[in-house]
Structure 1
């Protein structure tokens, strides 16, 4: 009986990781930058070994690798210089969805029992703006990213921020791409709208403070195989 309960809990965790699509963002607190995983007001632990890159970028666009430090199931990095932007890349490994076993997550690709409905690789990326620079209205080189077309830190609640979604430095294909159109942190699961074309989309700014925009992109390789990208842009506004 205990084994069944453990398996059921593992299934729920794996299923929720894909279906509720846990998001990732960076929060600067004093001299530390924390990597958060989950949803506003509800975060979860994660293996910091999956952080493949944590970077600080200064006003001259110079990039410095930051070292993740374990902290109660999460990670933070010391901010030892003046950075205008922080970025992170996270390898969420291999996912298999079978009729018999539901969602399963593995560190390495493998053969699984049962009929496969979906399978693929999952990546999470995020960037946070600390100080706006004019160059930030262009892609910085992340595989998938959200680019603000004007300074978002000067906006107020109810203002509209035009953004573009990019994949490999080019406007993201509309097929398989979704984005949240509000940064209101009081909404734990903001609705994601399908991208209709590879043009700018407007995002409504929430109450003053931390703002997070969520993007998703599913790249189909064939009938069952996918590559999933979950990415975010965060920044702070004042009253």
Structure 2
């Protein structure tokens, strides 16, 4: 048993290191009476420690926020939905990263002394939200540090339609420098093409084939020449047309 635990720990470390280089995404997916948190890319998800989840929240149609308790199952977390939720959100601590000339990307729980020439370093966060049933309050920020905000009900759109979205940071339109969002919500595309957000005008996102939709956002907040704060965030929903 001990060897197995050690082996799984090593695998997790390798996966987390590769995550930085491959810019893994994270999203929520409702299945029946459960919501799952998935990490990786569409069609190829990876395990992660449940301890990285710092908040998992269900929001009712009346905008009441309820803390959900994540459970672990085969490397992924889920939560039971035992109430009526219109929106589900999650915050995920992706810890502290260093990129050095000698060792490449390495991940630690907190900043520390490292050997070598540092090219980039910084804190990484991932945030996601899933629309279960559209409500009018969803065309505005719901209090996440970074988020994709649709300006109209995306669940009523069909393939080829365009959805106007805004990117928000701490409740205000995200600064244009360093902010990007995927051009399509087609969840079958593993690495969707990204477009820059200018800080004021909505971005038009093309809706994918009927079914699961996923919009990916990225924001890099520069602190100085090497230090960054990285945010990866997503919005998921389902279309029926």
Normalising by structure 2, report the TM-score: 0.93
Q: Is the 8 A contact 2:173 2:199 kept in 1?
A: no
Match of 1:164 in 2: 166
Cα distance in 1 for partners of 2:22, 2:181 equals 14
Q: Is the 8 A contact 2:167 2:197 kept in 1?
A: no
What's the C-alpha RMSD, in Å, of the aligned pairs?
A: 1.6
Match of 2:118 in 1: 116
* Residue 142 (str. 1) matches residue 140 (str. 2): no
SS at match of 2:133: coil
Cα distance in 2 for partners of 1:19, 1:198 equals 30
**Higher mean C-alpha deviation, range 186-195 or range 198-207:** 186-195
SS at match of 1:141: coil
Cα distance in 2 for partners of 1:123, 1:130 equals 23
Among 126, 129, 133, which residue is 1:127 paired with? 129
Cα distance in 2 for partners of 1:45, 1:15 equals 13
Cα 1:165–1:56 shift into 2, 3 Å: same
* Residue 191 (str. 1) matches residue 193 (str. 2): yes
Normalising by structure 1, report the TM-score: 0.94
Q: Which runs of 5+ in 2 are unaligned?
A: 1-10
* Residue 19 (str. 1) matches residue 21 (str. 2): yes
Among 26, 49, 52, which residue is 1:50 paired with? 52
Deviation at 1:189, TM superposition (A): 0.8
Deviation at 1:211, TM superposition (A): 0.3
How many residue pairs end up in the alignment? Answer: 232
